Every structure is written in structure tokens, then in C-alpha cells.
Amino acid sequence: MSKFLPKSVQNLIEEFSKLPGIGPKSAQRLAIYLLHSPESRTKPLGESILNLRKNVIFCKNCWNIAEDDPCKICADERRDQRKICVVEEILDVAALEKTSEYDGVYHVLHGALSPINGVGVEQLKMCALFERIKSLEEKDSLQELILATNPSLEGEATALYIQKHLQQFIENPKFKITRIARGLPVGGDLDYADEITLGRALSGRSEFL
């Protein structure tokens, strides 16, 4: 980074560089772009960033982001509460909702099992999922758990761990665990898939054995 730049500009470039997908050159271009932008454009951006942590919370039921607890999806009486779709990230919910193929609720793990990167069960919302399922199972109000983790090594390992763990205490013969169909490329992420591919993957899901 050029030392002649003012400290405030250098700080902004450093912060942009910490964002995923933003390299040093892109960070510099963004900083200079904002420097040339009128206050009417930069002020709303700054306020939006500040309000992000003030107004957004996590739904204590599904761990998706929301402005109210429970979130709009969990609170929607038209959604089938007997079906839970497990996803890795928040954007996966948005991607699946675009398909208009799913009428149940979700559970966001906030990642996938990855021992190499130090991500275990404790770092995910896995225990919250098991407690939620156990509570619903005791009320006999759980029908299906859809494992929609990404078709990567980490995603497959996460789905397998959940399936094996649930076999220990789920006794309801009507309850089934399904895995999202292979309509997605191996190594791909839900967030980058188109609506048609995701829709086919959901509608073509099979029981996870």
C-alpha cells in the first residue's frame, strides 16, 4: 500500500481487504470510489453498516438472521413446521426460498464440520438442532428432516454426522431423514446455484440412508 495515502484512506483499504473475495487492488478501487462519491451515497452506506449489528438478530429457533424472534419464516403459520431443512449458511436459506419449492422451516448451522479448520460440533448450531428435533419428536410433531448441506466433503461429513446422531434417539417410524438430490455439482455451493437446479434438487430429494 502506498505510504503517501492519508491514514484514513489506508485504514479503509485495510478493512475492505479483510472482506471475503476482496483483494488489495479491489480494496483500493473501492476506497477511491467512495472518496469520489458524494456524501448522499457514502452516508447511507455507513449507516447501513452500523445498523447491521443494531437491528439484526438471530432467530433462537432456526438461527437464521431476522429483525424479530422468531423470524418471519418460523412465525408463518402457512409453513409446515413438521419439516426442517438443514443448511450451512444464511444465504442458503435465501437461495432455497427463491425456488418456491419448499414450504417447511429451516435450521442454519453456520458452517460445516471441518476438523482441519478447527470447526467441530461446538462451533456450529448442531446441539441446538438436536435439542429442537428431540423436542418436536417428543410432541410427535416432526415428519421430515432435509439435509441440504453443500455437496462438498465437509457438507457430506456434516450430513452423515447428523444422520448417525439422530438414529440414537429418534424412535418415530413416520419420521424420515432425506438428503437433497444431486442436482448440484460436487464442490459447489447452494448460493451460486440457479433456481431451476435448486428446485430440482429439492423436489428430487431421497431418503438419507
**Interatomic CA distance for residues 97 and 91, integer angstroms:** 10
pTM to 2 decimal places: 0.78
What DSSP state is assigned to residue 144? E
Indicate whether 49 and 126 sit together in one domain: no
For residue 34 the three cell numbers come to: 467512495
For residue 129 the three cell numbers come to: 438442532
Indicate whether 95 and 163 sit together in one domain: yes
Other C-beta atoms within 10 Å of 182: how many? 13
Indicate whether 40 and 66 sit together in one domain: no
CATH code of the domain in which 111 resides: 3.40.1360.10
Identify whether the C-beta of residue 74 lies closer than 8 Å to the C-beta of residue 61.
yes
Domain count, the chain: 2
Identify whether the C-beta of residue 92 lies closer than 8 Å to the C-beta of residue 144.
no
What DSSP state is assigned to residue 119? B
**Interatomic CA distance for residues 43 and 57, integer angstroms:** 23
Write out the residue range of the structural domain in which residue 121 sits.
Answer: 58-207
Q: What is the pLDDT of residues 102-155, one digit of tens each?
A: 999 999 999 999 999 999 999 999 999 999 998 888 787 889 999 999 988 899
Indicate whether 133 and 77 sit together in one domain: yes
Examine residue 1 and state whether it is found in any structural domain, yes or no: no
**Interatomic CA distance for residues 11 and 31, integer angstroms:** 10
Indicate whether 89 and 192 sit together in one domain: yes
The whole-number pLDDT of residue 196 equals 73
CATH code of the domain in which 19 resides: 1.10.8.420
Indicate whether 109 and 158 sit together in one domain: yes
Indicate whether 122 and 44 sit together in one domain: no
Examine residue 2 and state whether it is found in any structural domain, yes or no: no
Indicate whether 15 and 77 sit together in one domain: no
**Interatomic CA distance for residues 84 and 156, integer angstroms:** 18
Identify whether the C-beta of residue 149 lies closer than 8 Å to the C-beta of residue 112.
yes
The whole-number pLDDT of residue 1 equals 52
Indicate whether 29 and 97 sit together in one domain: no
The whole-number pLDDT of residue 209 equals 61
Other C-beta atoms within 10 Å of 191: how many? 13
Mean pLDDT of residues grouped by 10 in the chain (209 residues)?
79 93 93 94 91 89 95 96 96 94 96 94 96 86 92 92 86 84 75 80 77
